[in-house]
Copies of this chain bind each other. A is one copy, B any other.
Amino acid sequence: MVPGMIADRKPPPRRTQLDRREESDRRMLRAATKLFARQGVSGTSLAEVGLAAGYSRGLPVDRYGSKFGLIEALLDSMAAWFETRVADSVSGRRGVDAVLERIAAHVDGARKSPLATAALYAIYLESLAAMPALRPKVGALLERWRGELVVGLRQAQTSGEIRGDIDCEQHAAIILGALRGLVIEHLMADAETDLDAIRDAVAGLVRQAMVPPAARKVARR
């Protein structure tokens, strides 16, 4: 029972409660992501999530209180992850440039984290009809994205990159709506639509609002 020995032999397998909680959290959210992406939200039971994460049937409820709570937690974690991801790539850009970069970031998210993206859209779809209670939270997220696009479009309008008669609010909604439709199709219906083609098409929606370079000088004056 020499103190030193104990320290040596069990380095510290003493994981704090916090560690355990964090790990189980991570594993449950990961499991939920995978299951939501594949089976949709309604099609996934809490018990399934717990078991897929390697825990018991009851843990998800114990941790998140309800199915709704789990979805919220997942939504939060995905939003945070996405936020930093986009912030990086867009930093420093302005106007049309920033808008195009944001679009590219969305498409890239779908490319690099198809599961997470599919899960996010599954939650979005669920919020449309089956679980209206999700609307506020999902809506806020989408609204934030739209708001950021609007900022870019307004800058572009001010600088004369895009036409003055464009309704930036609405144009941003259109860009994101089309993007959503195309990405959902790509991820969930085993569609062959190419992600690059999707990005280009949506970028086209931006260009379509742009002032032709030739005319631009006039606009600026």
Contact = CB atoms under 8 A, between A and B. Distances in A.
Interface of A: 38-43, 122, 125, 127-130, 135, 139, 167, 170-171, 173-174, 177-182, 184-186, 188-189, 191-194, 197-198, 201-202, 204-205, 207-208
A38 B129 contact: yes
Most chain B CB inside 10 Å of its own CB: which residue of A42, A127, A192, A207? A42
Contacts of A185: 173, 177, 180
Contacts of A205: 178, 201, 204-205
Nearest to A36: B129
29 contacts: A39-B129, A40-B128, A40-B129, A40-B130, A42-B42, A43-B129, A43-B130, A125-B125, A128-B184, A135-B189, A139-B189, A170-B197, A171-B201, A173-B185, A173-B191, A174-B182, A177-B182, A177-B184, A177-B191, A177-B193, A178-B181, A178-B182, A178-B202, A178-B205, A180-B185, A181-B184, A201-B208, A204-B204, A204-B208
